[in-house]
Amino acid sequence: MIRDPIPWPNGARCACAITFDIDADSLIHISKPRDGFDRLYPISMGRYGPTVAIPRILDTYRRLGLKQSFFAPGWVMEQYPDAIEAILAAGHEIGHHGYLHEDPTEIGGAEQRYWFERALDVHRRLTGRLPRGYRAPVYNANGATLDLLVEHGFRYDSSLMADDIPYRLATPKGRLYEMPVHWGSDDWPPFAHYPEIGYMMPVMAPSAGLAASFEEFEAQYEAGGFWMAIWHPFLTGRLARWRVVERWLEGVLARGNVWFATLEQITDHLDGLAAAGHEFRTERLPYYDKPVQLG
Ligand SMILES: [Zn+2]
């Protein structure tokens, strides 16, 4: 059960968003700054995303009439402009995902601002606009991240996990919507095998790995909620996995009462509800202002 479910457009039972984080090979460069540029296997594994998987994913979206959201680090956007152009030309959304996938909690305030704003400049240059949404690399947003989002007029974050459905973040600087993520519908745990950055998990079969995301959908559908996949083109955009997704999508769309939309479109809808008096659950931040004192 979901308390205070959000009414979706046209009586849809569930709002749905497949979000793809186009990390490409940023991960190896940020994690191995000394010699990442010459580690060819992880570079090629990442390049598969923008060069092979994105065209495949966009074909499916075109065929099924879907508009969806992508998040990309600024460096990836500069490195793979064709993929970015194809995404934009098809009417999809691109959100902010750092510059070189730097972890906000690993860098200090001034440095965090520098990379955040450098990525914003890339968005301005390559998309002609500022992004409305943000997802922190490895979900690692901190208070300074939220401040930057408010300061730069972002409408939503999609890095936090405090509810099943979109909610509000109220910070001392302002408000944002949160489009909540969680690991259950993220493709990293079942599919990422990446010893160079510390992941040595057994890779699951396509249908078994994706079953986690699909079960999350069924629960959200039943409860009238919000389902969001957090996937990566170089993982779920691989041939056999995407084949499973395509067949699943066809089945879900055939039910007819789901609303697939970009996160920006969902934000527009939330704004409309707020204007009509709908109250969203609000999480007030900061959660804590100092380390927990023991003893
Ligand atoms: Zn990422």
Give residue-wise pLDDT tens across range 36-64. Answer: 999 999 999 999 999 999 999 999 999 99
Q: For 119-158, what is each residue's pLDDT tens digit? A: 999 999 999 999 999 999 999 999 999 999 999 999 999 9
In this prediction, residues 2-6 reach a mean pLDDT of 94
Q: Is 129 exposed, middle or buried (0-12, 13-18, 19+ CB in 10 A)?
A: exposed
Report pLDDT for 249. Answer: 98
In this prediction, residues 197-218 reach a mean pLDDT of 96
Q: What distance in angstroms lies between residue 145's CA and the mean position of ligand 1's atoms?
A: 15
Strand duo 193-194 + 199-200: pairing: antiparallel
Kindly tell me if the per-residue pLDDT of 295 is higher than 90. Answer: no
Q: What distance in angstroms lies between residue 204's CA and the mean position of ligand 1's atoms?
A: 20
Report pLDDT for 109. Answer: 86
Kindly tell me if the per-residue pLDDT of 201 is higher than 90. Answer: no
Output the pTM of the full model: 0.97
Spatial separation of the C-alpha atoms in residues 126 and 121, rounded to whole Å: 9
Q: What distance in angstroms lies between residue 278's CA and the mean position of ligand 1's atoms?
A: 32
Report pLDDT for 279. Answer: 95
Q: What distance in angstroms lies between residue 273's CA and the mean position of ligand 1's atoms?
A: 30
Q: What distance in angstroms lies between residue 183's CA and the mean position of ligand 1's atoms?
A: 13
Nearest to 50 by CA among 78, 14, 31: 78
Spatial separation of the C-alpha atoms in residues 91 and 36, rounded to whole Å: 33
